[in-house]
């Protein structure tokens, strides 16, 4: 086997290190390889076969070696420094899609564990020529940082990293842990992002006591709004099957468009609920209609629609599906059509009951911004819908006016104040 081929395997070796010298006098190293089954040595001593979890080492320099049959070996010098750190690069893949890298990093071993969650992926920029700059080469103009992801939500991540850096410089013996949960799969279907990281943390019995999700939550100015919950999201793709035929002989056909229009009208007519004190009413919205028919004189054989339901805590996905299916069945039976419907559950509705930490955040935000924030559940979905399964959480970040837009931007003043808010929350949380 040539050297070029040999390097295909272990050239992708991933190393994650745990530095625990400060509290326990040791560190631990975990090693994964693609594919698994690589032999790992540290300082010449055999440690086992990948994946390896938690090799205890002393602080300082070490030689890490990995080898696999028919593949070129890898040697790497690593340095374990003072501190108490845990870092995991978690890569997940589903089907034929690209694998997604996620990060879980923790400073400290003690409780409580305060976690910050965010995402580094962004939506497409749209037409480059519509931007005043290259959307992926950020620039500062007139007091604003411009670039795709500046608002949603890389700047928030930077603010929390900066706040943590300042905090541990002044409080290196704080009583607790600080962790980061950063995903690269939030803007899409989110199947290989925070959802799977949460499943991993549950399996490992990793305890998170409270989580701040750094999504941009403020409509107009920093400090206006804290998100304490979100509506659920249910997407459906419906296809109606009729009988194709000539439009001059409609009695010999069965036009699926007529049936689909009736279903759409009936579903839209129904009021799902009136909402409650924490949530606005649930709503169903159609997002596409499609008929694959290029001929003007042919009744098509099928017609499709796609719709989404944003629902509050008076509903569940299963309850909504039953209601929708009943309506579709009734109309298709009457019109002698068949149908097929596929659902995608994007997350159930949830509400975090305001408690000590949420009121603490409210106090800190008001102190820095001079604005008294309101609690809200408005807007779209976020990764808080997954995190709430393992920890109470709130969402607070920047002003969301320019998210997903051309010339997405964030005020430099807001960046400075958001960092102050996160820093002061750390001070208060670990008192």
Look at residue 94 in the predicted model and tell me its pLDDT: 74
Same domain, 145 and 167: yes
| Residues 331, 281 within the same domain | yes
pLDDT at 15 over 50: no
Residue 425 lies in a domain: yes
Mean pLDDT confidence for 34-59: 82
Task: Looking at the structure, tell me whether residues 325 and 416 fall in a common domain.
Answer: no
The residue from 347, 378, 405 where one domain ends is: 347
Residues 244 and 343 occupy one common structural domain: yes
Please report, for the domain that includes residue 135, its CATH number.
3.40.630.10
Q: Is the pLDDT of residue 12 over 50?
A: no
7, pLDDT greater than 50: no
- Catalytic residue list contains 414: no
CATH of the domain at 44: 2.60.40
Q: Which pLDDT band, with edges at 50, 70 and 90, does 54 fall under?
A: low
- The residue among 210, 120, 216 whose CA lies nearest residue 426 is 210
pLDDT at 82: 54
Q: Are residues 134 and 225 in the same domain?
A: yes
Whether residues 52 and 142 fall in one domain: no
Q: Mean pLDDT across the chain, nearest whole number?
A: 89
Which residues have C-beta within 8 Å of that of residue 343, sequence separation ≥ 6?
234, 235, 236, 317, 321
- Which of 297, 325, 347 is the last residue before a domain boundary? 347
DSSP string, 53-93: EEEEE-SEEEEEEEEETTEEEEEEEEEE-SS-EEEEEEEE-
Quick one: pLDDT at residue 18?
38
Same domain, 223 and 357: yes
Query: What's the pLDDT at 404?
Result: 95
Q: Quickly state the pLDDT bin for 83 (edges 50, 70, 90).
A: low
Q: Is residue 115 assigned to a domain?
A: yes
- For residues 188 and 129, the model is more confident at 129
> Is 184 part of any domain?
yes
Residue after which a domain boundary falls, among 83, 115, 140: 83
pTM of the model: 0.77
Predicted confidence at residue 1, as pLDDT, reads 30
CATH number assigned to the domain comprising residue 325: 3.30.70.360
Q: Do 236 and 323 have their domain in common?
A: yes
Mean pLDDT for the stretch of residues 4-23: 36
Decide: helix, strand or coil at residue 431: coil
Residues 135 and 221 in one domain: yes
Is residue 408 assigned to a domain? yes
Look at the chain and report how many structural domains it folds into: 3
Would you say residue 88 lies in a domain? no
Active site residue 76: no
Tell me which residue of 159, 152, 153 sits closest to 416, measured CA to CA. 159
Structural domain including 331 reads 232-347
When mean pLDDT is compared across 40-49, 55-64, 156-165, 284-293, the lowest value belongs to 55-64
* CB 426 within 8 Å of CB 167: yes
Active-site residue (options: 185, 186, 187, 395): 186
Of residues 91, 121, 273, 345, which has the active-site annotation? 121
Candidate from 30-34, 64-68, 229-233 with smallest mean pLDDT:
30-34
Q: Do 206 and 274 have their domain in common? A: no
Say if residue 289's pLDDT is above 50: yes
Give residue 58's region: left, alpha or beta (phi > 0; psi -120 to 50): beta
pLDDT in tens, 369-390: 999 999 999 988 899 999 999 9
pLDDT at 337: 98
Burial of 267 (0-12, 13-18, 19+ CB in 10 A): buried
Q: Using the CB atoms, write b or e for 9-43: b if 16+ within 10 Å.
A: bbeebbbbbbbbbbeeeebbbbbbbbeeebbbbbe
Identify whether residues 236 and 213 lie together within a single domain: no
| 162 and 193 within one domain | yes
pLDDT at 284 over 70: yes
Span 155-199, pLDDT tens digits: 999 999 999 999 999 998 899 999 999 999 998 878 889 999 999
342 exposure class (CB count in 10 Å sphere: 0-12, 13-18, 19+): exposed
- Strand 177-183 with 113-119, pairing: parallel
């Amino acid at each position: 086997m040539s050297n070029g081929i040999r390097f295909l395997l272990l050239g992708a070796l991933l190393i994650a290190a745990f530095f625990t010298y400060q509290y326990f006098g040791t560190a631990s190293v975990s090693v994964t390889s693609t594919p698994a089954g690589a032999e790992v040595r540290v300082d010449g001593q055999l440690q086992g076969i990948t994946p390896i979890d938690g090799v205890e080492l002393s602080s300082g320099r070490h030689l890490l070696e990995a080898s696999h049959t028919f593949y070129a070996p890898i040697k790497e010098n690593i340095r374990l420094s003072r501190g108490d750190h845990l870092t995991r690069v978690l890569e997940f893949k589903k089907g034929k899609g690209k694998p997604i890298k996620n990060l879980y990093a923790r400073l400290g071993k003690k409780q409580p564990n305060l976690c910050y969650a965010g995402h580094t992926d962004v939506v497409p920029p749209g037409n480059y020529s519509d931007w005043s700059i290259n959307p992926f080469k950020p620039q500062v103009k007139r007091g604003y940082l411009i670039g795709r992801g500046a608002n949603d939500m890389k700047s928030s991540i930077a603010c929390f990293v900066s706040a943590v850096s300042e905090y541990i410089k002044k409080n290196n013996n704080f009583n607790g842990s600080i962790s980061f949960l950063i995903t690269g799969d939030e803007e899409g279907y989110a199947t290989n992002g925070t959802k799977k990281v949460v499943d991993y943390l549950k399996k490992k019995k990793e305890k998170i006591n409270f989580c701040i999700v750094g999504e941009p939550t403020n409509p107009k100015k920093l400090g206006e709004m804290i998100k304490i919950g979100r509506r659920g999201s249910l997407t459906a793709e419906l296809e109606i099957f009729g009988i194709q035929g000539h439009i001059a002989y409609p009695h010999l056909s069965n036009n699926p468009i007529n049936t689909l229009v009736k279903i759409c009208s009936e579903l839209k007519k129904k009021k799902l609920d009136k909402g409650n004190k924490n949530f606005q009413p649930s709503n169903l919205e159609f997002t596409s209609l499609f008929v694959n028919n290029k001929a003007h004189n042919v009744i098509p054989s099928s017609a499709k629609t796609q719709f989404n339901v944003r629902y509050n805590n008076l509903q569940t996905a299963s309850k909504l599906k039953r209601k929708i299916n009943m309506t579709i069945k009734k109309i298709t039976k009457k019109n002698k059509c068949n149908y097929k419907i596929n659902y995608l559950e994007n997350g159930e509705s949830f509400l975090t009951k305001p408690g000590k930490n949420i009121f603490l955040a409210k106090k800190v935000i008001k102190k820095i911004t001079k604005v008294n924030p309101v609690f809200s559940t408005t807007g779209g979905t976020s990764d808080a819908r997954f995190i709430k399964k393992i920890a109470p959480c709130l969402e607070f970040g920047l002003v969301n006016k320019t998210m997903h837009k051309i010339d997405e931007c964030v005020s430099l003043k807001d960046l400075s104040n958001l960092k102050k808010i996160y820093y002061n929350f750390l001070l208060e949380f670990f008192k």
